[in-house]
Structure 1
Amino acid sequence: MVSANGDLHLPISNEQCMPENNGSLGFEAPTPRQVLRVTLNLKYLIDKVVPIVYDPNDIVCDHSEILSPKVVKLAYEACGGNPKDKANKRKYQSVIIFSLLKVCEWYSILATMEVHNANLYETRNLASQQLCKLLIEREETRDLQFLFMQLLLRRYVINENDEDQEPLNALELATDMHCTTVIGSSGFQRCLKWIWRGWIVQNGLDPTTFIKDDSLAEVSLISHFNPVRLKAPVYQNYLQMIFSFLFLGLYTLVVNGKDSERVQSFDLLESIFYVFNTGFILDELTKLYYIGYAHLSFWNLFNDTTYLIITFAMGFRAMSVTPLNAKYSSEDWDKISYRVLSCAAPFVWSRLLLYLESQRFIGIMLVILKHMMKESIVFFFLLFLIMIGFTQGFLGLDSADGKRDITGPILGNLTITVLGLGSFDVFEEFAPPYAAILYYGYYFIVSVILLNILIALYSTAYQKVIDNADDEYMALMSQKTLRYIRAPDEDVYVSPLNLIEVFMTPIFRILPPKRAKDLSYTVMTIVYSPFLLLISVKETREARRIKYNRMKRLNDDANEYDTPWDLTDGYLDDDDGLFSDNRNSGMRATQLKNSRSLKLQRTAEQEDVHFKVPKKWYKNVKKCSPSFEQYDNDDTEDDVGEDKDEVKELTKKVENLTAVITDLLEKLDIKDKKE
């Protein structure tokens, strides 16, 4: 797994991830007790580094004096391991991000338990997150493989209160805890992007590890025409968007397509629409079974409400076409069905936002809405108490004479007062002056105090999100990505195509596992064939660029954009025909373009001998730039030692290679002399 230039590459097969193989994951994870000790060491470090409350800007700023390079070095040393054995040392350093996030979780618990020290624990929480960010960005430039596969994606188990917890990786832990500082780091986002595209997939042999997809650089169309690629979150998201728009179109045709008072039987479009709804309901029940109550988030409950309303409408519609003796006629059932179905319109349209949240504008808007809903809980709780109290008072006034005459109008007026539509007319003739005094007090509290509190809460929620909009959006996308990779590792049947899987399940149970998997593979290939063709075309074009990057010893995600300030980046895929026999034409065209651009630029700059900037100018620029030598040059001693060892090893290899070449040349000279 080591390239010619000494860079480590990500594993591309399940076997390379096994401990017995000397691949890039060639060591076992630390034990739960060892993870606990590393976490305790890191907590001790943060406690000493942040003994008092600091300004958050002093912690998160670049080149912070609090989280200095010495603290980063101590964080690495807190993991233990043999300093002379790189593999042993890296084994324990692999849990450093996971352990720091656990420390963040502990500080959050302490801030809740010890309110008098909440500010201190929140400061330490922020320091732990910032230290995570520094370590992630440091490893991104040193060892991308170690960052992705060990620090962020490998699942670890920690022992807490003498019990081993569920295995989690740093990616999941940071997302669940909403650590926006960690999520917003470049290495974290880069890892998410690779998972979103399906470049990194879960290991089929070991669910605690991930591997790199082995078909990335394959330039043949057929190698990407594989339903397994549908496990990539980006393709599942596209499929869900397509089926959501189809569902909306079918709903529009059904709810606005009734043009007769006569009861009609189910037509084709209506039947397909209700099949879609059944598939969505089945998908929600399946996720609830596997995930549990954690699945019941706001948007999932929103979708469940939509499907429930449509299910009621479907039941009433079935009653209208079924010849049963009921209290209402078929026409009445049919009318009720369409009226109930019409009430689902706001839900059906609004659910599109859930699948369009990958767009930055919509994503930020949804985050703002989510925060507003949370903040409004305080308002509705106060409103509920106030309404209960005043309602009881008005009901007491109404029953003072032994009769209840206007209970209904009282309740209705108290409710619409919240919307600003309350009226004093109801209380003019009712129990004067007590009812009027009570209502004046209620109206003042609701309209002047509570509604202004609600406005202030909404304003606070909006400002909080806008000030941190980018990080909040990245956290939202992290949650969206995890929704796909946390699903059971089975064949992908996106709703409503999951009904096909349900009907095929009895056959899958009868067949041997391998035959059942082959049959499912064939079914998915047929069903998804149009979409798989588009995927194949897209990924084949990407594969040529990836192959070009690997030839240039660059990362797979390099040269995605042709920027105007770099004359050698970008990739020309226009010369790569989809069915072309020559698969290297794009590479040659890109190299030709780069050399031509450089030549034209040099020629243009040499037209005037006085145009060129002297070398002294570059030296002066370096002198006037801020100096961070104490940060940039303060590498750990271990890193320096590792670099020296690597240089010695490479020098030895070069010497051996030189000796072999010299010996070969001498033999060739002797042979020539004999001839």
Structure 2
Amino acid sequence: MSETEQLLQDDAYSQGSRITSRTDVSPKTISALIRRVRALVRRLIDHEVEESSIVGAEGIISQEVVLAFHELGGDFVDALPFSLLQARKNFLRDASDSHSDASLNELRAVACEVIARRLVAKFERDSYDQGLAQGGGSHLSLTKKFTRVESDGDISIPTSALESAIDQHCTTLLSSTEVQRAVQAIWSGQLVQKYGPDGHSYFEPYESKDDGAFLNHFHPSRLGVPKYAYCINIVTWIFFLAIFTVQTRVYKSFDFYEALLWVMAAGYLAEDVSRWFKIGGIDAVSFWTVLDLATDLLFTSAFALRMASFIAHGDNSEFFQLRAFQLLACVAPLVWIQLLKLFDGFVYFGTLQVIILRMMKESAIFFTLLVLVCIGFFHALYALDAADEDRVADAATRITDALIQALLGGADFDLSAESFGYPFGHILYYAYCFTTAVVLLNILIAFFGTAYSEVVDAASEVYCGFFSEKVVSMVRAPDQFVYPPPFNLIEAFLVAPLEYVLPHSYYSKLNYYLQSVLFGIPLFIIAFYESRLARKVGGIVLEHKHTDQEEAEACGERGTLEDPEVPEDEINQGMKISKTSFEQLVKMINKSKKDEQ
């Protein structure tokens, strides 16, 4: 297929749009579209209403409203979901800036998300009605990246509607069937990420989807498919965990296993640093980012002490080696916790992780109160100790230890009775134990219970958003040539410097042959799986939602969907299904609805 034919086919994917996956859209055009969307949403929600009337199937946002927003985009229909989500973000910003109109702007933000969801569903239906490529009607509007002019005049980074929905935690949109189909297509490699001359990425259907030839699927680019990268990460991390366990099992001198441990740790450190620089920003910080940072710091500190042990002599060398081993031992809990992140592709572990992360967020208020209470009582006890001439040895350390033990259920009342200005110190210590054990801990339990119930009650929607975030995060930091850790060290020190020396075609060939050799085994497994799947089911295609009409045609059904006839080979000859016409049944239902009203 020529490039022109491909562009025409891409055009057919999008109903009423002249945008393709490779079309450059001016940031000024997108900004104008966002402002037009906001103007129409203001007209739609011009006064406060019940939120249920916005999200409900028969509420304010009717089919006519969705069609009006569809027409609003003109030749840029595929940019509407992104524009609506950006309008949602702006309405929420307006709500925080102006408290008098906060409720109204929050309702408008909800309307933007609901309209975006229903527009994507319309794109999907239109593609099926016109017999276009499977899934092509909606994935372009979700995965194509747009830029806009920011308030300070700068151009924003390219962002897709899917990425914007994840950043804004739009669970309503992310849990829709159409979005999940697109996410699953990216996850399984049915939609592949490609790169334009400007370095920006875009998604297109996998060109070898119908090909059952083994060699056509044996390509290093398949290492970038999230599902395959996920499996490789699990295998390499389990191997790393085994090496870590062997190395920390016995305190010993330098050997092959220790060298392998440091190499793999350096690979994971380089991956974390690379991901941070590619995504960047405070929005990229999450619980796992903090955990990765703590793990990397401990590994780096342990490595520095280990290198110091080689440079030092005598007792100093033994001291540094011991401290390095002790720091490695302290990394163990963080290393094992990382397994939870690796297995979050399974629904059970993913939902469990969402619950834990939500609990951690809810506990922020508790820890804020706890820190303030601890500082206050520490100050009081330390001041009481300074009130007389009999100072307690290491007062700060003993007070800190007593406060922590009391928090964990092991209060030392003898210490407070003997020192710290008895009886005032003793009374204060009782007050501290009551405040932490009875008040604050029960507040924490209440927060945990609320977070757990909220996640469990909407477990399906929450997991859809969580899974979408996981998949998109794996392709959001563009990497044309994927080298999983620790092989990314080879790329960083040997291959990447050649990018500035070799022509792009030679550099691509170098990566192709190098990756084919380094990852020959996983590439062989991937190619074997995909080629067998293509021969078995007729191609690796976007999951097709079979319609009732298609099933009726496959069964050779006569009549219509609404008024079918008994098949000729049916044993119940002479009997009828449609004794009462479908239109008459509809009238009966409508009459029943009117009577209920």
**TM-score, structure 2 normalization:** 0.84
Larger radius of gyration between Structure 1 and Structure 2: 1
Q: 1:28 to 1:340 in 2, by over 3 A?
A: closer
| Counterpart amino acid of residue 142 in structure 2 | L
Question: 3-state SS of the aligned residue for 1:103?
Answer: helix
- The residue number in structure 1 matching 2:410 is 421
- Residues 261-319 of structure 1: CA distance to partner in whole angstroms, max 9, x if unpaired? 7x5331x2222122111111122222233333444432122123223323333444445
Query: Residue 260 of structure 2 corresponds to which residue in structure 1?
Result: 272
Separation in 1 of the partners of 2:211 and 2:274?
35
Q: CA deviation at 1:427?
A: 1.6
Offset, 1:429: 2.6
Specify the code of the residue in structure 1 equivalent to 2:165.
A
Secondary structure of 1:65's counterpart equals: coil
The equivalent residue for 2:33 is 38
1:75 Cα shift?
A: 1.5
Deviation at 1:221, TM superposition (A): 0.5
Residue among 543, 554, 567 paired with 1:557: 543
Change (3 A) 1:239 1:390: same
- State the distance in 2 between where 1:479 and 1:625 align: 46
Corresponding residue of 1:74: 68
Matched, 1:525 2:516: yes
- Partner residue, 1:102: 86
2:380 paired residue number? 393
Do the aligned residues in 2 keep the contact of 1:546 with 1:557 (CA within 8 Å)? no
Shift of 1:329: 5.3
2:355 is equivalent to residue 368 of structure 1: yes
Equivalent in the alignment of 2:111: 127
Whether 2:581 is the aligned partner of 1:615: answer: no
Q: In the aligned structure 2, how far is the partner of 1:528 from the partner of 1:32?
A: 40
1:194 aligns with 2:185: yes
Cα 1:386/1:45, change in 2 over 3 Å: same
Q: In the alignment, residue 250 of structure 1 is paired with which amino acid?
A: I
From the superposition, tell whether residues 518 and 184 of structure 1 become closer, same or farther in structure 2 (CA, over 3 Å).
same
Q: 1:379–1:454: 8 Å Cα contact kept in structure 2?
A: yes
Q: CA deviation at 1:333?
A: 4.1
**For 1:161 and 1:103, how far apart are their aligned partners in 2?**
13
SS of alignment partner, residue 363 of structure 2:
helix
Aligned residues of 2:19 and 2:76 also touching (Cα < 8 A): no
1:138-157 deviation line (CA, Å, top 9, x unaligned): 111103434222x2122222
1:383 maps to which of 370, 387, 396: 370
Q: Which amino acid aligns with 1:388?
A: I
What residue number does 1:49 align with? 44
Query: 2:176 aligned with 1:185, yes or no?
Result: yes
Cα distance in 2 for residues equivalent to 1:449 and 1:386: 11
Distance 1:145 1:269 in 2: 49
Q: What value does the CA root-mean-square deviation take over the aligned residues? A: 3.4
**Does 1:237 find its partner at 2:247?**
no
Residue 242 of structure 2 is aligned to residue 255 of structure 1: no
Measure, in 2, the Cα distance between the counterparts of 1:26 and 1:231. 19
Partner of residue 447, structure 1: 437
**Matched residue SS, 1:344:** helix
Counterpart selection for 1:496 from 486, 490, 512: 486
Counterparts of 1:499 and 1:480, CA distance in 2:
24
Distance in structure 2 (CA, Å) of the matches to 1:530 and 1:197: 19
d(CA) in 2 for partners of 1:428 and 1:604?
Answer: 96
Match of 1:662 in 2: none
Cα distance in 2 between the residues matched to 1:312 and 1:204: 38
Contact kept? 2:405, 2:411, Cα under 8 Å: yes
CA distance in 1, matches of 2:470, 2:296: 21
Are the aligned partners of 1:216 and 1:546 in contact in 2 as well (CA < 8 Å)?
A: no
Residue of structure 2 equivalent to 1:226? 219
d(CA) in 1 for partners of 2:445, 2:588: 47
Rounded to whole Å, the distance in 2 between the matches of 1:244 and 1:304 is 17
Deviation for aligned residue 1:222: 0.6
Structure 1 residues 137, 323: closer, same or farther in 2, change over 3 A? closer
Query: Partner of 1:140 in structure 2?
Result: 124
Letter matched to residue 36 of structure 1: S
- In structure 2, the gaps of 5 or more residues are 3-7, 128-134, 556-565
- What's 1:648 paired with? none
Residue 353 of structure 1 deviates from its aligned partner by 1.3
The amino acid that maps onto 1:66 is I
Identify the structure with bigger relative contact order (alpha carbons < 8 Å, sequence gap 6+): 2
CA distance in 1, matches of 2:418, 2:580: 90
Asked if 2 retains the 8 angstrom alpha-carbon contact of 1:157 and 1:167, the reply is yes
The one-letter code of the counterpart of 1:460 is T
Q: Which moved more, 1:304-313 or 1:91-100?
A: 304-313
**Aligned mates of 1:209, 1:475 — CA distance in 2:** 21
Which string of whole-angstrom CA distances, capped at 9 and with x for unpartnered residues, describes residues 216-239 of structure 1?
111111100111111211111111
CA deviations over 1:185-227 (Å, ceiling 9, x no partner): 1111111111122222233225264322211111111100111
Flag the 1:101–1:508 CA change in 2: closer, same or farther, 3 A.
closer
Percent pairwise identity? 28
Q: When the two structures are superposed, what TM-score results if normalisation uses the length of structure 1?
A: 0.75
Q: What displacement does 1:55 show?
A: 3.3
Deviations 1:623-648 (CA, angstroms, capped at 9, x unpaired)? 489569x9xxxxxxxxxxxxxxxxxx
CA contact (8 A) 2:195 2:480 kept: no
Distance in 1, matches of 2:485 and 2:367, equals: 36
- Provide the C-alpha distance between the structure 2 equivalents of 1:527 and 1:329, rounded to a whole number of angstroms: 37
The residue number in structure 1 matching 2:468 is 478
- Answer yes or no: is the 8 Å Cα contact 1:546–1:556 preserved in 2: no
* Residues 136, 185 of structure 1: 8 Å contact kept: no
- For 2:18 and 2:25, the matched residues in 1 are separated by 17
CA distance in 2, matches of 1:210, 1:530: 27
Deviation at 1:325, TM superposition (A): 2.4
Aligned equivalent of 2:205: 212
- Partner AA of 1:525 in structure 2: S
Cα separation, partners in 2 of 1:548 and 1:507, compared to 1, 3 Å: closer
Q: Distance in 1 between matches of 2:501 and 2:105?
A: 57
Counterpart of 1:218 in 2: which secondary structure? coil
Kept in 2: contact 1:11–1:212 (CA 8 A): no
Distance in 1, matches of 2:99 and 2:150, equals 23
In structure 1, the partner of 2:159 is 168
Q: How many residues align structurally?
A: 558
Q: Distance in 2 between matches of 1:481 and 1:313?
A: 33
2:146 paired with 1:156: yes
Shift in Å at residue 459 of structure 1? 1.5
The answer to whether the 8 A contact 1:198-1:232 is kept is yes
Aligned to 1:300: 289
Deviation string, structure 1 residues 13-72 (Cα, Å, up to 9, x no partner): xxx99xxxx99729955533332332223223222322344333332222x221112211
> Which one of 85, 93, 96 corresponds to residue 112 of structure 1?
96
Matched, 1:409 2:393: no
Amino acid at match of 2:528: V
- Compare 332-341 and 472-481 and name the one that shifted more: 332-341
Gaps in structure 1 of 5+ consecutive residues:
3-7, 80-88, 550-554, 570-590, 592-601, 631-675
What letter matches 2:267 in structure 1? G
How has the CA–CA distance of structure 1 residues 161 and 311 changed in structure 2, closer, same or farther, with 3 Å as cutoff? Answer: closer
1-side partners of 2:399 and 2:321: how far apart? Answer: 35
Distance between the aligned counterparts of 1:439 and 1:308, measured in 2?
36
Structure 2 distance, partners of 1:317, 1:625, is 82
Tell me if 1:25 matches 2:11: no
Q: Distance in 1 between matches of 2:228 and 2:584?
A: 47
